[in-house]
Amino acid sequence: MSVVLLDPSAEGVPDFVPIADRLKELAGKRIGLLDNIKHNAEYLLAAVGTRLEELGCEVKAVRKKTYTKIAEPPVLAALEDCDAVVTAIGD
């Protein structure tokens, strides 16, 4: 007769994957700023971008067409040459 084991683990939860490696330093890196076009996100990101440039980063500003949906493929593609991305505003 086959052995049957009961699953002890969380079910219905996707397998976890780790986040990408963090940057060792910021200077010289290209940082994407993804604006989801919610109100005031652009001002917050502009201030963050200025500070990043002061730290020696190159800043690349990208805007979504709408915040109601996930980013369109060209938007994400535009960020793929960045070393890191900051996005605002979740809400």
Partner 1 sequence: MAVATRHTLTSTDDPIQYCYDRGWTDGLPVVPPTEDRVAAMLEGTALPRDRVIAKIPPAWAEATVEKIAINCVMAGCLPSYLPVVLAAVRAMTDPALNLNGMQCSTHLSTPLVVVNGPIRTALGMNSGSNVFGQGNRANATIGRAVKLILTNIGRAIPGVTDKATLGHPGKYTYCIAENEEQSPWDPLHVERGLKREQSAVTIFGCEAPHNINNQASRNAFDLCHTIADTMATLGKNMFYAQGEVMVVFCPSHAETIAADGWSKLHVKEYLYEKARKPVRLVKLGGLYGREVARNFWPRWVNRTDEDEMVPLVRRPSEITLVVAGGPGRHSAFLPGWATPSVTVPID
Partner 2 sequence: MSCSVHDMVEMERKGIATVTLCTAGFLNAGAQKAVMSGMPDLRIVGIPFPFASLPPEQARARGLDAFEAIVAALTGAEGR
Chain residues that interact with partner 2, rule: CB under 8 A: 13-26, 31-32, 34, 36, 38-40, 43-48, 51, 64, 67-71, 76, 79-80, 82-91
Sign of CA dihedral 32, 33, 37, 42: negative
Interface stretch with partner 1, choices 8-16, 38-46, 52-60, 67-75 (CB under 8 A): 8-16
Chain positions 24 to 83 lying near partner 1, rule: CB under 8 A, are none
Q: Which does 11 bind (CB under 5 to 8 A by kind): partner 2, partner 1, none?
A: partner 1
Structure tokens, 9: 């683990």
Instruction: Specify whether the CB–CB gap between 10 and 62 falls below 8 A.
Output: no
Distance CA 63, CA 73 (A): 12
